[in-house]
Structure 1
Amino acid sequence: MQSSLYEQFFNTQSKDQRIALWNGCGTLEKFTLGNQCYVAKVTQVPLDLQHKNIKQTSFSLKRKVRSYEKEQLFYKQCADVLKDVCIVPKMFELHAERGIFVTLLEDYEAKGFINKNTANIEDINKVIEWLAHFHTTWLEEAQIHSQFEEYGEGNYWHLKTRPDEFEKMPSGLLKENARRLDVALTSTRYKTMIHGDAKLANFAFGSKGVIGYDFQHVGVGIGLSDVMLLLTTVLDSEGLEKHCELLLDKYFQALTTQLNRNQSAIVGKDVENDWRALWPLIWVDFHRFLAGWKPEHPKINDYMKAQSAHMLIKRRSLLTC
């Protein structure tokens, strides 16, 4: 009887490459069997996890464990749905036991995809199209999303999962309006499954397009929160001022095209009207997280501060419970 890939992985003495994951939470291990190249993502959250920006609590440790559970849930339930929509790594096997998670995937580098440390506008547009296709797959009216209740909200900065950072925030308009922001963002008409950590480092580029991975923070949310996070990793304040509106146009064009291709009953323009109004709120909400997590973070730039000032001072009427 042939052993499972999981057993073969642990019996393979020589690994092609081993890469440490965030803060001692595991490794990525590349290995080859026959002509196939694989990646094993082996994760376990240390009980003594240390982080320089915030003291770890039992709540934050559980959140980290939950992120690995969500990633495996995504590969089990959702990855196959994306086969003809956007590219994600092929999953071979999933294992979870006593807090250790092993996710066995194809090696995307062996398929010709490469990571980039910087991105030009063409690269950004490719990722934005990937995101639009990903979001369109699960785009629904908010009240219908009961099928994804087990995932909870997507992204890693929403208020309900960041009480420690909230407590660290200095007094001021950001902290005073945090809960109003959360209500405004969760009361939107349209929601979808979002990637939740759509930074440049979680995409790779090849002749066949873009591949996205690292689905630890998937969940229900607003598609533009993924777009916002992507832009914080590829554009500085001046670039954001210059390119944001055109990139949003690109996103909604791709989303509408895909909705029409899917013969969806949802009208792209309705989604655009709903989400565009939330664009500054999404920035302010991320600002709120950074202000409690790492207030000196370079992402708190002039563009982000302008969005906050616009919403918290000039348009406070939108932040109503």
Structure 2
Amino acid sequence: MSTATPATRQQKVLQFLPPRTKIRSIQECASLWAGYGSISRVYIIPASPTQPSSYILKEISVNHERGDRGVGHTRKLLSYQVESTFYKDQRFAQSLLRDSPGVSIPCPLGVVVENSEASSIFSLTIAMSDLTHEFPLSRSDLDFLHATAALRWLAGFHAHFWGSEETQGDETDGQPISGSGLWKEGSYWHLSTRTEEFESIGNSRKWASVKSVAPAIADWLRAKSNIPGINTGSRRFRTVLHGDPKAENILFRLPSPDPSQPPQCAFYDFQYVGYGYGAVDVAYLMATSVNAGVIAKQEDDLIKVYHDELIMRLSKRSVATDAQEYTLDILKIHLGLALVDWVRFMAGWGMWGNVRWVEEKAKETLSLLKL
């Protein structure tokens, strides 16, 4: 929750909005993790017929000296810095909005970061478009059509950033943030940031095989090594991940009058954008958000939808060779390993989502690859 007076806060917001805009009210929509900030909707009196009636405001204010200075606190602070980079840097959100139609995200209107060691306060303000004008629907359990819409969005996002990872000087500096300002490893559940959960698995016989291969799989997901006999770890196949593509971070358009038209969607919440194999996002979406019955009957169809869209988009870019070489079989191997890694996290943190399917796929992958 912002501590500024209503008048001061309105002046702060107005700097991001078009001239002559008048604010009607600012209403909080959600409080962020551990009270670090809030998300509000800014209702306005439109200055023109084309101006929307509301915008979204994300405000963070954290005292560096607060008692909680553990891994979770550090991870959250860094995630807000990464999100500010994603919206502010021309290479990321603005590039996506300009060059990848159909991969809808909030349009940033302004980003202000204040990180003063003197005051011990980190603050971040992001003003952005309100997606609900075009995408008013949310779903917690994705059916086949809505799952395919989300997978096509991920394919478009991954294709846009395909091959953009810069590694020079990044591998040995010991920092979790890359030179570009994004996470070196997209997602919030990779092993290097979840060592406490990993240790909490203990000596459980159920998870012994997953735990024993976890470090090797983590190295593979970072493209530090290849699985013996399986050369699918090429850095050429890496991209930028959304990092948290669950149903709660997706909005959908109203259904088209034409039933043959698939749903359209938009994603938000870019705190965990970073580099990796696109299958990590696909695994997470399917494990957490797609209806279990849909996965049981149409798993292969879902994976093929993502792969087809990815290859189509890559073929239109200057990475046509990768489009030919990134086969469906390679994607399925990537997906299986990402699911083993997801099981590793859940085994120490707690099970949720499509648990039975995830565990079966993890066992199948370990057996297939003789891990």
Identity rate of aligned residues, in percent?
25
| Kept in 2: contact 1:45–1:64 (CA 8 A) | no
1:15-54 → structure 2 map (5 Å cutoff): 15-35=26-46, 36=52, 37-45=54-62
Distance 2:322 2:60 in 1: 41
Specify every segment of 5 or more residues in structure 2 that has no aligned partner in the other structure, as ranges.
1-10, 47-51, 115-120, 171-177, 224-232, 255-262
CA shift digits 1:225-271 (9 cap, x unpaired):
11111112333544323222111111111011111222433332422
| Kept in 2: contact 1:148–1:219 (CA 8 A) | no
Distance 1:116 1:26 in 2: 25
Provide TM-score, normalisation by structure 2.
Answer: 0.74
Structure 1 residue 130, shift from structure 2 partner: 0.7
Change (3 A) 1:120 1:310: closer
What's the counterpart of residue 360 of structure 2? 306
What's the counterpart of residue 105 of structure 2? 88
Distance 2:65 2:86 in 1: 27
CA shift digits 1:124-183 (9 cap, x unpaired):
111111110100011128776878653211001111111111121122222222101112
Structure 1 residue 184, shift from structure 2 partner: 2.3
Residue 178 (structure 1) aligned with residue 209 (structure 2): no
Specify every segment of 5 or more residues in structure 1 that has no aligned partner in the other structure, as ranges.
51-55
CA shift digits 1:179-228 (9 cap, x unpaired):
01112222221100010000011111115821111000000011111111
What's the counterpart of residue 345 of structure 2? 289
Distance 1:137 1:8 in 2: 27
User: For 2:71, which of 19, 41, 59 is the aligned residue?
Assistant: 59
1:221-300 → structure 2 map (5 Å cutoff): 221-272=276-327, 273-294=329-350, 297-299=351-353
* Higher helix proportion (structure 1 or 2): 1
What's the counterpart of residue 144 of structure 2? 121
| Kept in 1: contact 2:85–2:181 (CA 8 A) | no
3-state SS of the aligned residue for 1:177? helix
User: For 2:253, which of 187, 200, 206 is the aligned residue?
Assistant: 206
Change (3 A) 1:112 1:178: closer
3-state SS of the aligned residue for 1:150? coil
What's the counterpart of residue 239 of structure 2? 192
User: How many aligned residue pairs are there?
Assistant: 307
Change (3 A) 1:300 1:175: farther
| Structure index of larger Rg | 2
